[in-house]
């Protein structure tokens, strides 16, 4: 069994898997790369996780995730910054252990408006402050911080970074090898500015990772879990994927799906259906496929 060589399984798609189960199911599915999450890595310890990743032969496509640094200065903010520092080190270690082609990309979700506050503008400014504090450490470790704009429905409680333009503006002061962006179709598909902003991201060399999954209405009761296999919803993967490919992005493409029903299937089934959705909805729009079709 073999999947498209650029497909990567983000571990959130098989959320209930331990690190070993995730590595094994990804290899068994013929997939070459994986995006790991911190909790399963920490469950076995970083060094052991790095050994197991190396043994798997898989590339690391991203490490998820840091961020959550919108709170005002104080002990909670210091704890968050410290945790992000550890995340940067973990990313470097794991990327070094992954197969050739692994990338040192640490995905950052900004965090929401602090409890009891209505100061969205202030919360956004503190994201910029946190990046300025973490960028030197990321640079020293050879890690790219990948700011992820999240869909605006999460702006209050999860991520005050809501559009690709905003993420690129936040990244602008830094070298693109140090601060880039995460482009996830679920979060950006609706944005009237997404195509020009993808072109801008390409010109600026900021696309650190491209993630794909689908959007379908109605949203479930927990709006975090409303993601679907590529092709099962309304997202126009043609225009988005072609725009990402036009930037020259040639990296792995992750499928990251939060969906209780998908989590309740076997890891093997989730990976097989992910690969099938990817083949049908995304692969035809990759630059190599478009060239081959001409």
Q: Which is nearer to its own copies, 60 or 113 (CB)?
A: 113
Select 215 or 267, whichever has its Cβ closest to its own copies: 215
For residue 210, how many other CB atoms are within 10 A of its CB? 25
163 scored as a contact of its own copies (CB under 8 A): yes
Nearer CB in complex with its own copies: 63/189: 189
Which of 3-11, 109-117, 137-145, 264-272 is the region at the interface with its own copies (rule: CB under 8 A)? 109-117
* Residues in 171-200 that interact with its own copies by CB under 8 A: 189-193
How far apart are alpha carbons 189 and 206 in whole angstroms? 18
| Sign of the CA dihedral running 85, 87, 88, 89 | positive
75 Cβ contact list (under 8 Å, min separation 6): none
CB nearer to its own copies: give 23 or 109: 109
- β-bridge mates for residue 211, sequence order: 184, 254
157 lies in the binding site for its own copies (CB under 8 A): yes
Half-sphere exposure of 88 (CA within 13 A, CB side): 24
What count of other Cβ atoms lies within 10 Å of the Cβ of residue 105? 25
By the rule CB under 8 A, 219 interacts with its own copies: yes
Q: Among the candidate windows 36-44, 75-83, 90-98, 161-169, which touches its own copies by CB under 8 A? A: 161-169
**Size of the chain, expressed as the number of residues it contains:** 294
Binding site for its own copies (CB under 8 A): 112-113, 117-121, 124, 151-153, 155-157, 162-163, 165-166, 169, 189-193, 215-219, 221-223, 233-237, 239
């Amino acid at each position: 069994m073999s999947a498209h060589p650029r497909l990567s399984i983000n571990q959130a798609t098989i959320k209930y898997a331990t690190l070993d189960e995730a590595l094994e199911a990804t290899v068994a599915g013929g997939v070459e790369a994986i995006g790991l999450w911190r909790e399963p890595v920490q469950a076995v310890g970083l060094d052991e996780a790095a050994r197991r990743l190396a043994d798997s032969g898989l590339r690391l496509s991203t490490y998820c995730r840091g961020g959550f640094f919108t709170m005002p200065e104080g002990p909670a903010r210091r704890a968050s910054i410290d945790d992000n520092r550890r995340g940067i080190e973990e990313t470097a270690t794991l990327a070094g252990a992954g197969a050739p082609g692994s990338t040192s990309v640490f995905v950052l979700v900004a965090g929401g408006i602090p409890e009891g506050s209505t100061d969205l503008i202030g919360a956004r400014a503190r994201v910029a402050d946190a990046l300025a504090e973490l960028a030197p450490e990321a640079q020293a470790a050879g890690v790219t911080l990948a700011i992820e704009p999240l869909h605006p429905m999460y702006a209050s409680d999860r991520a005050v970074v809501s559009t690709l333009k905003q993420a690129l503006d936040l990244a602008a002061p830094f070298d693109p090898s140090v601060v880039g962006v995460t482009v996830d179709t679920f979060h950006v598909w609706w944005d009237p500015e997404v195509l020009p902003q993808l072109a801008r991201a390409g010109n600026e060399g900021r696309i650190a990772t491209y993630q794909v999954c689908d959007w379908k209405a109605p949203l479930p009761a927990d709006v975090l879990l409303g993601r679907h296999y590529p092709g099962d919803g309304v997202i126009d993967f043609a225009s988005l994927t072609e725009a990402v490919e036009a930037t020259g992005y040639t990296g792995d493409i992750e499928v990251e799906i939060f969906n209780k029903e998908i989590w309740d299937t076997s890891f093997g089934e989730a990976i097989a259906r992910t690969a099938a959705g990817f083949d049908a909805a995304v692969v035809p729009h990759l630059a190599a496929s478009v060239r081959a079709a001409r």
